[in-house]
Structure 1
Amino acid sequence: MSVNRRLLTASVSSLLVEIGFDAAENQALETLVEMIQSFIREVGIGCRTYAEVAGRTETMVADVILALVNMGFNPNGIEAHARRPNHSMLPAPIPSSQPKQLSILQAGIKKDHPMHIPTNLPPFPDPHAYIRTPTHKQPVTEYEAIREKAACQKRDLERALVKFVAKTGETDSL
């Protein structure tokens, strides 16, 4: 079970205890969690849609309100629910394992900024990325290699032309 799913299960359980339930069957709890997860997903999709229609990449509170209204929910009930007197607080989640430090491969020695570049700019990338990185194969400039390649191309062209004429030309049957 993912961390998000466990947090959602804990939240639903906390709400059930708050409204007076002492216990809940696993199947009923999973059904409620699935419903809440689906609801959150639909609100998120609606928010993203409203933000995209408005030409934005990030959602705003207005997008959330519009998504809730579009789904048939009254957004005023959320504020009343948040201000209820006896709401329970969930403890902060404990990370299951320490995040691993990634070893970053580095090729070459990083250079410091020259004097004319402000220090607040990010450092240069690894030198292999920008110091003489060939983008194409260098052309052959030797005379003998060029003559040999031209002769091969001429032979290939003649063969292709002979095959083409043989396939498309008129044939006389004997």
Structure 2
Amino acid sequence: MVGISYDNVIYKTVKNAIIAQANAAGFVKAEGGVIDEITNIVCSYMMSISVGCKQYSELAGRSTSNSFDLISALTDNGCELIKLKEYMLKNPSVKSIKVPTITTLPSEHVIKVGEERSLPSHIPSFLPRFPNPHTYVSTEITSDFETSYAKARELQAQNKRNAENSLFRYALSTHDSYCLFRSLHETVKDKAKSELEKQEAELQAKRARYSDNVSDMFELKETTNSIVRKTIPDYYFVLKPFPVTNPTMLALCDDQEDESHSTMDDQMDESKLTDGVEISLDDMLSPDSTMSDDI
């Protein structure tokens, strides 16, 4: 019976038990919805008792539940043992229900590394055994990173190449360029245009079919240039020279700007020297000042 869930088998078994109990109580007919509702209530009640048993067993440090856990779980759910015993004595016995057999699937072989460790004497035998040793035994951590001079220079050169390639790609995307292989460029460009036209036709068909409910506002659309860049390598392209309308005027403007910057720097230096000090020419040329200097 491969593929049958345990939950389905338990549900059907509980349902058959409820039907048998209803027949024993004198009911001849019942609606299917009522039986299903009672089955759900009973399954929920049994699940609550099972969870309570598990919690009590885990609280006591055990992996399996015993009768004391069951008594505590029944008490928590409002069922007293005395009343349960009286109910079982008063009600007639119901004929046995055939419980379907479930063939368990063979468990997969677990890979084990190392030898299993036996439990120490101070740990009870009913507790679960230790896991595989390789899951918790500490191992030495080694670093494979090389710190040699050659490795550092190689990494530096690789980073430099990556930076240059990124800068070149950015320049290709923002400035005019031309391909060294014009025939290849034209062929790829024509294919890209036809592909874009095909995609646009499919998108229009989707919009017409689904009444403009196609959510393509967050999709980054392809362009002819992007498809060409993906197909043709970057080193097939060369940047065009940047045109200058009046190079002479540009050169003169640069010189004037340099001179203006130099004069401004000189003025700033002089202002720093005389900042906060009042100097008079008469004081500098007076005999007292010269005498004081000689002294």
Structure 1, residues 23-51: CA drift from partner, whole Å, max 9, x if none? 11111111100000000000011111111
Query: Larger Rg: 1 or 2?
Result: 2
| Aligned-pair CA distance for 1:84 | 4.6
- Letter of the 2:22 partner, please give it: L
Identify the residue that residue 56 of structure 1 maps to in structure 2.
Answer: 62
Q: 1:156 aligns with which of 149, 154, 157?
A: 154
Q: Does residue 77 of structure 2 align to residue 71 of structure 1? A: yes
Return the structure number with greater helix share: 2
What is the TM-score with the length of structure 2 in the denominator?
0.34
Identify the residue that residue 130 of structure 1 maps to in structure 2.
Answer: none
Identify the residue that residue 114 of structure 1 maps to in structure 2.
Answer: none
| Aligned-pair CA distance for 1:155 | 3.3
Q: Does residue 90 of structure 2 align to residue 87 of structure 1? A: no
Question: C-alpha distance in 2, partners of 1:161/1:6?
Answer: 67
Q: Give me the identity figure in percent.
A: 17
Q: Does residue 18 of structure 2 align to residue 16 of structure 1? A: no
- Letter of the 2:52 partner, please give it: G
Indicate the larger mover: 80-89 or 49-58: 80-89
Question: C-alpha distance in 2, partners of 1:11/1:101?
Answer: 27
| Aligned-pair CA distance for 1:63 | 0.9
- Letter of the 1:21 partner, please give it: F
Structure 1, residues 49-101: CA drift from partner, whole Å, max 9, x if none? 111111111111111111111122112233334445631123423559xx599
Residues 52 and 95 (structure 1 numbering): CA distance in 2 closer, same or farther, change over 3 Å?
closer
What is the TM-score with the length of structure 1 in the denominator?
0.54
- Partner SS, residue 2 of structure 1: helix
Q: Which runs of 5+ in 1 are unaligned?
A: 106-149, 164-173
Identify the residue that residue 42 of structure 1 maps to in structure 2.
Answer: 48
Whether the 8 Å contact between 2:19 and 2:35 is mirrored in structure 1 is yes
Whether the 8 Å contact between 2:9 and 2:100 is mirrored in structure 1 is no
| Aligned-pair CA distance for 1:162 | 6.8
| Aligned-pair CA distance for 1:153 | 2.3
- Letter of the 1:6 partner, please give it: K
- Letter of the 2:77 partner, please give it: M
CA RMSD of aligned residues (A): 3.4
